[in-house]
Amino acid sequence: MPTASLNRLAAGEDALVPVLWLYEASAVLAREQNRGTLAAPKADQLIAELQALRIDARGAVHARLDLGVFDGPARVAVLLPQLGRLLRPRGRNATFLGSPFEPARDRRRVAGEPRQPRNPGYPRRRPEFFTDTSPRGFSFRAHGDIRQYTAMPEARRTEIAEASDLRTLARSGSLMLNPNAGAPPPAEVLALAARHLLDRGRVELAHDVAGAASAENPDCANAYSVMHVVCDELGKWVKGLRHARRAAELQPKSAQLRYNLALSALRLDDYGIGFERMEARIDKPDWTGLAIAPSRAAERHRLLRPGVPMNGKRILVVCEQGLGDCIMFARYLSMLAARGAHVALVCSPLLRSLFERIDGIETILSPPSNQPFAKINLSRAEFDLWAPLLSLPYYFGTEFGTVPDEIPYLTVDPARVAAWRARYEAAGRSGFAKIGLVFHANPASASAGQRSIPLADLAPMLARADIDWVNLQGGAAGRELAAAHPEIIDATKEEVPLDEFAAAIAATDILVSVDTMAAHCAGALGHPLLLLVPYSPHWAWGIGRARTPWYRTARIYRQPARCKWVAPIRAVAEMLPASAEQGSEIHDEASAPLTL
């Protein structure tokens, strides 16, 4: 079983749900195949692989439980109603494994626990109680309400009582295990199993299982939704767009499905449809805009719409998503001011010093430093109209050929750039090109694994002894690079504000970066950028192109297949200049008009 899957199994209470669904999906496939109703290709292979995954996962879960990983009361409350049947062997002659929280060699019963038969078989009675042998010491009833428990501290009881999603989570994992819970249709089981297979990295198998789901029920929106994601991973983007469109048609009220369709259209350069459909993100419960949800609903009537005049109006723009997205769309702020609007911006404290240099912004509002994730209450703010930052392309009617390309729209203090350059020259070698390097995305991001490059894969670039590399990678990955290559100029020894980090980028001759905030910062500064992107890239980088309309100074190097960085890294290594003079030439070339 992959290490990543084991880590997820140890991560929390929802980690067992994929195992349960894989366990049940194989049963659904086998049942439908026996009935002759399964219209899926490679049915036998799918069943065999799912069963193998289920067996591996079951052993891993049992091992983790024996080690006491799932020792939190809230986690136990969710898991126990499901584990009894999952971890018991099949067959009348099978030997009971015992509770996952009770050593198999210890057959003593807890007071009040019903006696278990020597050979209970399957699928007969399950044990009525499981007992945790951890130092906390508590027991849960295996059936019924998860809040029926004994010997638990008051704080823990309150914690579980307030976790309203535990019952839903427990139900989602045991629908097929409990005949009284109301089993979902086979297509839904297969669609969810395909999604979990995708999370495990089994893309090809997920494709086949999702295909089985859509064949089972051609009107299953979840099947088309997961097939859309699978096609994106496999590089079948046009086919993925068709699946995304079909899913949105089947569930037109789903904000998530409309948003998925928007991203698929944007990746294929259909910006007109993409930005219009991307407005659905505002209706998502997990929308990341810096405004509290009740005020967004209350002030929906003052949302900026295309065609609404703004001359003399007070426009409040709310930042959203990641730092890179905010930098990318900050180009539209001066366009609002050019139409006569009085622009106020709500942004993260990290961006404040950098955005203060953008023309046209009259007021910047950001949370206090001790509450960096606080959000604004729109109902208490003074404005005429408000807009999420990523809605501005929709307001301005941006198409692929009309992306605003006035670069640079971010600036940094020239004195700080000179200071960083002097630091590089002092630490490096005179006359050698100073090349900045960022190779790892924010580990908190869900797509960090796809966008990041293992340090060992950078060997062809770092082997260039005629280059002075500048380590601009923050966090643990940056420290790993500094330890492995002490000859590299380390610009990340201390944390610096974002405007200072931008100056450090500007002081290099070229930045080599993966798809992360540093790349957007270099592009917005008009700095030469060699961008390494995964096989299934962010929509802004398009498909198959070496250039992007969003940053004229960027050159894109793409993976030829999933997780394959060798070819783009070698291409970048060959492209890099050997001297500061050659770096200056590349800088001049990057400033030339963009030809896509």
Sign of CA dihedral 326, 328, 330, 332: negative
Residues lower than pLDDT 70 in the chain = 1-184, 578-596
* Structural tokens at position 328: 């990318």
> Do 345 and 323 belong to one domain?
yes
CB-based contact 191:213 (threshold 8 Å): yes
389, part of any domain: yes
321: domain CATH number?
3.40.50
How far, in Å, CA of 173 to CA of 480, rounded?
A: 39
> Do 360 and 452 belong to one domain?
no
Question: Given 127, 147, 174, which residue is the final one in a domain?
Answer: 174
CB-based contact 424:507 (threshold 8 Å): yes
320, part of any domain: yes
277, part of any domain: no
121, part of any domain: yes
88, part of any domain: yes
- Chain position carrying tokens 């669609």: 191
374, part of any domain: yes
> Do 544 and 586 belong to one domain?
yes
Regarding beta strands 489-490 and 554-558, do their DSSP bridges make them parallel or antiparallel, or are they unpaired?
unpaired
> Do 153 and 29 belong to one domain?
yes
* Structural tokens at position 586: 């590349």
* Structural tokens at position 451: 């966008």
Q: Based on the structure, what is the number of domains in the chain?
A: 3
Which residues, in sequence order, are CB contacts of 7 under 8 Å at separation 6+? Answer: none
How far, in Å, CA of 167 to CA of 178, rounded?
A: 14
pLDDT at position 53: 57
What is the arrangement of strands in the sheet containing 433-438, beginning at the earlier edge strand? 489-490, 467-471, 433-438, 510-514, 529-533, 554-558
203, part of any domain: no
**pTM (two decimals):** 0.73
* Structural tokens at position 519: 């790349």
> Do 352 and 457 belong to one domain?
no
> Do 109 and 163 belong to one domain?
yes
> Do 475 and 348 belong to one domain?
no
> Do 525 and 444 belong to one domain?
yes
> Do 435 and 389 belong to one domain?
no
> Do 393 and 441 belong to one domain?
no
Question: Given 357, 372, 402, which residue is the final one in a domain?
Answer: 402
> Do 393 and 472 belong to one domain?
no
448: domain CATH number?
3.40.50.2000
**CA-based nearest residue to 209, from 335, 22, 336:** 22
> Do 429 and 554 belong to one domain?
yes
372, part of any domain: yes
- Chain position carrying tokens 């930042």: 319
Structural domain range at position 63: 3-174
Question: Given 174, 189, 209, which residue is the final one in a domain?
Answer: 174
